[in-house]
């Protein structure tokens, strides 16, 4: 079975870019330590700094679903409530 790739687009409200960025950065070490996490990299758009993207790879969809229920994601949601304009996830499989 192929690994699961997640592309997550997060757009902060203009007055909350620094807050959202700081909270996204907190997710990185905890997530990279999770079972099944192969890649978890955060990017910020050079022309639109309110736009962030995670490029993630997971060993299985099931392990990614466990990740989505972890406390650090709940903490992120609570800390950024009202600060995120949009959050869009794309589940993808590599075409070979």
Q: Say what the pTM is.
A: 0.93
Write phi, then psi, for 84 (nearest 5 degrees): -105, 125
Q: What is the CATH number of the domain that holds 82?
A: 3.30.70.100
- Give the pLDDT score at 1: 58
Q: Residue 74: which domain range?
A: 4-92
Two structure tokens written together for 68: 């989505």
51-85: pLDDT as tens digits: 999 999 999 999 999 999 999 999 999 999 999 99
Residue 22 CB neighbour total at 10 angstroms:
11
Specify the number of domains making up the chain.
Answer: 1
């Amino acid at each position: 079975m192929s690994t699961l790739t997640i592309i997550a687009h997060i757009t902060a409200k203009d007055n909350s870019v620094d807050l959202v960025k700081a909270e996204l950065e907190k997710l990185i070490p905890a997530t990279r330590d999770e079972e099944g996490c192969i890649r978890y990299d955060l990017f910020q758009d050079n022309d639109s700094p309110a736009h962030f993207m995670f490029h993630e790879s997971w060993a299985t969809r099931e392990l990614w679903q466990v990740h989505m229920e972890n406390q650090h994601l709940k903490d992120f949601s609570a800390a950024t409530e009202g600060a995120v304009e949009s959050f869009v996830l794309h589940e993808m499989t590599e075409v070979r």
